[in-house]
A and B are shown apart, each in its own frame.
Chain A
Amino acid sequence: MANPMEQFSIEPIVPLDVAGQDLSFTNSSLWMLIAMLVVAAFLYIGTAKPQLVPGRAQAAVEYLYDFIRDMLRENVGKEGLKYAPLIFSVFIFVLACNLLGLIPFVGAFTPTSHIAVTFGLAAIVFALVLIVGFAKHGLHFFSLFLPEGTPIFVLPLVAAIEFLSFLSRPFTLAIRLFANMTAGHVLLKVFGGFVVALGSFEALPYVFGIIPLTVNVALTALELLIAVVQAYVFALLASIYLNDAVNLH
């Protein structure tokens, strides 16, 4: 059986070395590029001729954009709408990477199954929160760590806990997405291995392989759901964190 971790290996396509740093264009880069191009096609076609009564492509773009704007309106308020394009970019990039990585047979790679990529995306969100928070509230932003109504003698402890939980946000954000993607793909690969292992019994060829194959079909549906849900969760948490920066609780 093939190693289920093999699918995550990063293979350079165009080796590139800049000042001793390996910056090769890899399969991960390729699929991020494909995701970006798919999103670009989706958006450029959808907004080519914006009309008051939208066509199919425009309606699809509007649907997703409205979804993000409603999420920001609910979690941040009217002020949050300014950040809709950035949150939308994060959401649709994660969504495209997650979904494209599920395509079978084409050697698809899921960039979001790598902690470096998910951490990079989480860092974008974290940086946005810090920049907006300090730009809007200055040093007053630190009052985020001092919940109102806390008794004075536990305040240092609460502030320390709040500060740690704030610092852990980019990591939890990154690890949640990476772990979900990795686990899903490992599961698919493991059951794929079972299909080969059980299907190659000499006596009854293929018969036993049907069971793990069925499981794999169901798992693929589940992974599609998880791909969408994780993109949603990522954007939702981003907007909740943004709310802290804009409104300080």
Chain B
Amino acid sequence: MPQFDPANFTSQLVWLAAIFAVLYFAVVRPTLPKVGRIIDEREGRVAGDLDAAVAAKGEADAIRTRYDDGMAAARSAAQAEVGAAQDKAARAAEARMKDLAAALDARTAEATTRLAGARDAARATLAATTAELTGEAVARLTGLDLPAAEIEAALAAQK
């Protein structure tokens, strides 16, 4: 096998050393780090973009939360206002009802008083009329003209 012929070794090793040195120092070293930098830059860029996206998402979430909170606050405020208005209206209605009831009561009382007055008046005239009629009847029946006071006294005694 030519592989085990030591006569070839020196030449192969020397040429390998020379060619590998050129490969490493003149080919790989000047070129590969450029690509390495680009790869790192790209990774940094992608990581930065991802961070920015995460930040933007957080911001959007915050806005969303703020919007939801605002909506909830506005809703509860509106509900409170509606409740207050309802309350106020109910109270006003109640007050008006009370006023009305009081007015009606007053008128009832007035009417009752007037009725009582009329009744009393009627009753007062009734006694006078009865005495007058009784006097007339006595005059017609007996021809006596009795004084009114006497008749009244007699009627009162009859009662």
Which residues of A does B touch, CB under 8 Å? 5, 8-10, 21-26, 28-29, 32-33, 35-36, 39-40, 43-44, 46-47, 50-52, 54, 58, 61-62, 65-66, 69, 84-86, 88-89, 92-93, 111, 113-117, 120-121, 124, 178, 182
Q: Tell me, in angstroms, the Cα distance from A24 to B33 when the chains sit together.
A: 34
A10 touches B33 (CB 8 A): no
A46 touches B8 (CB 8 A): no
Counting chain A CB atoms within 10 Å of each CB, the highest count among B17, B31, B36, B39 belongs to B31
By secondary structure, the A interface counts as: helix
Which residues of B does A touch, CB under 8 Å? 1-5, 7-17, 19-20, 22-24, 26-29, 31-39, 41-42, 45
B39 touches A66 (CB 8 A): yes
A51 touches B38 (CB 8 A): yes
Within the complex, which residue of A10, A58, A111, A115 is in contact with B35, where a contact is CB–CB below 8 Å?
A58
Residues of A within 8 A of B17 (CB): 120
Q: Tell me, in angstroms, the Cα distance from A133 to B32 when the chains sit together.
A: 25
Q: Tell me, in angstroms, the Cα distance from A66 to B43 when the chains sit together.
A: 12
Within the complex, which residue of B23, B34, B36 is in contact with A36, where a contact is CB–CB below 8 Å?
B23
Residues of B within 8 A of A40 (CB): 23, 26-27
By secondary structure, the B interface counts as: helix
Within the complex, which residue of A9, A23, A43, A62 is in contact with B14, where a contact is CB–CB below 8 Å?
A23
Q: A5-B1, A58-B35, A182-B3 are in contact. Are A117 and B27 (CB under 8 A)?
A: no
Closest residue of chain B to A90, judged by CB? B20
A43 touches B27 (CB 8 A): yes
Tally of A-B Cβ pairs under 8 angstroms: 133
Closest residue of chain B to A49, judged by CB? B34
Q: A36-B27, A85-B29 are in contact. Are A21 and B10 (CB under 8 A)?
A: yes
B13 touches A52 (CB 8 A): no
B34 touches A50 (CB 8 A): yes
Output the least CB separation between A50 and chain B (Å). 4
A-B contact pairs, 14 of them (CB 8 A): A8-B3, A24-B11, A32-B15, A40-B27, A43-B32, A47-B34, A50-B35, A62-B38, A62-B39, A69-B36, A111-B16, A120-B17, A124-B20, A182-B3
Output the least CB separation between B5 and chain A (Å). 8
Residues of B within 8 A of A182 (CB): 1, 3
Residues of A within 8 A of B36 (CB): 65, 69, 84
Q: Tell me, in angstroms, the Cα distance from A10 to B8 when the chains sit together.
A: 7
Q: Tell me, in angstroms, the Cα distance from A10 to B2 when the chains sit together.
A: 7
Residues of B within 8 A of A22 (CB): 7, 10-11
Residues of A within 8 A of B5 (CB): 10
Within the complex, which residue of B11, B13, B35 is in contact with A46, where a contact is CB–CB below 8 Å?
B35
B19 touches A33 (CB 8 A): yes
Q: Tell me, in angstroms, the Cα distance from A28 to B10 when the chains sit together.
A: 12
